[in-house]
Structure 1
Amino acid sequence: MRSFPVRLERAALQGGLIVSVQAPEGSPMRDPQVIAAMAEASLRNGAIGVRLESPDHIGAVRRRCPEALIVGLWKRTFPDSSVYITPGWEEIQAVWAAGADVIALDATDRHRPAGQDLADLVRRASGDLRAPLMADIDSVDNGLRAAALGCQWVGTTLFGYTETTAGSRPPAWELLAPLRQQLPASTSLICEGGIATADQARSALQQGADAVVVGTAITGVDLQVAAYVGAIGR
């Protein structure tokens, strides 16, 4: 069983950039080897880790970059729940088996597929797998609850993307200071969602985040090109 590495502790993340290397369904960028190449390029240029979606992508990056710090997740949708980021035990096991160092999962208070319970999932992941967890949250209360359950990292990933925060727009500036003040000192606070510039990333760190996750602004070729084309009215 893997033990909790020193490089995952809060002190090791200070001021770091984690690049989310993902691509939408149907995109040619979604090829595992393309994802792995983008991940390697990110790491070569100073990223402390990468955030990857799906066991196939996690495995491809692990093979290409054996020493990479990988935050893994698996997006799956179910008709009985709006939770889609590593929603259940099957997804947790698959992400861990593929080679992730940290498993990211939805840690909001929403109903999970098949009535699965967040507290039970955290207990099983921590006990059966000894897997470090990143809680993707949308509010201060959910972040504190996730830390109390045993999640080592808390990320603002879902702020603006849940039913109760749909009227808000990331980045989650309003969550950073209260979370840092109230989270246990050992819990890492990650700002993720809506970071589009280096200045915003720096601001997130100044407001209490230990590290930042940036995705679309760096690796989102599909969305970035579409935005430029839309802006110039082509």
Structure 2
Amino acid sequence: MYTRRNILDLIKRKLVVSCQALPDEPLHSPFIMGRMAYAAYLGGAAGIRANSVEDIKEIKKQVDLPIIGIIKAVYEGSEVFITPTMKEIDELYREGVDMIAMDATDRIRPDGSTLSELFPLIRDKYKDQLFMADCSTYEEAVKAVELGFDSVGTTLSGYTKATKDRALPDFELVERLVNTLSVPIIAEGGVSTPEELKRLYDLGIDSAVVGSAITRPMEITKKFIKAIE
């Protein structure tokens, strides 16, 4: 496990590749995600973002890279599903991921709490753990920094009711965050081309996460099919 001090330096100005497949997707398998991570490593990735303890365990066997861990869990009555409760935080911490990412939107969590109520408990319990805030708006990012998150991601812009009409990548949000916040900014969400990635780095981000454009062949195929329909 990398130290809190150096993981953000290790991925600075480099690429993190998201290796995820949900149960209803063809590539859902810890073995396949492990090979995806290895392929990303060979291609030059500096870190991996992964979902579930099972996938993370396998990925650790294949690559020695910093891991941003999440657990996607659907709870009835809540729209929050990226590491939504203390239960998922506990599981990721026990597994020893280098950074835990969680939904940092202003939506109500499955247990009825807000992020402002839950995160101070998490921060107090796991003082030595790095946390990434998956945000959808500027206001959420500001609040996340105030609460003590170590980095802020644009992960959920375009995926909440308040931001569903946002064009992705959200260059406007990225630029505002870079110019006003003191913590590392990690661009994530809708990065489809190397040119878009280059533009995000030109805006001054610390790092970026790219997933679907690299590790989800079904979604990539759909884009090509849509172009010729």
Q: TM-score range by the shorter chain?
A: over 0.9
- Shift in alpha-carbon separation, 1:207–1:115, aligned structure 2, 3 A: same
**Counterpart Cα distance in 2 of 1:25 and 1:3:** 29
Quick check: 2:2–2:66 contact (8 Å CA) kept in 1?
Answer: no
The 1-side partners of 2:26 and 2:50 are apart by: 16
The one-letter code matched in structure 1 to 2:95 is: A
- CA distance 1:88–1:198, shift in 2 (3 Å): same
- 1:115 is aligned to 2:112: yes
| 1:15 partnered with 2:13 | yes
| Aligned residues: CA RMSD | 1.7
* Pair 1:97-2:94 in alignment: yes
- Match of 2:24, SS state, is coil
Q: C-alpha displacement at 1:125, in angstroms?
A: 3.0
Q: Greater CA deviation, 115-124 or 88-97? A: 115-124
Query: SS of the counterpart of 1:191?
Result: strand
In structure 1, the partner of 2:196 is 200
Q: 1:75-224 counterparts in 2 under 5 A?
A: 75-129=72-126, 130-184=128-182, 187-224=183-220
* Structure 1 residue matching 2:111: 3-state secondary structure: helix
Give the 3-state SS of the residue equivalent to 2:175 in structure 1: helix
Once residues 2 and 32 of structure 2 are traced to their aligned partners in structure 1, the CA distance between those partners, rounded to angstroms, is 30
CA distance in 2, matches of 1:38, 1:118: 32
Provide TM-score, normalisation by structure 1.
0.91
Amino acid in structure 2 at the alignment position of 1:200: E
2:37–2:48 Cα contact (<8 Å) kept: yes
- Give me the identity figure in percent: 33
Structure 2 portions without partners, runs of 5+? none
Aligned AA (1:225): T
1:148-182 C-alpha deviation (Å, 9 max, x unpaired): 11111100000010010111121111111221122
Deviation at 1:4, TM superposition (A): 4.1
Unaligned ranges ≥5, structure 1 = none
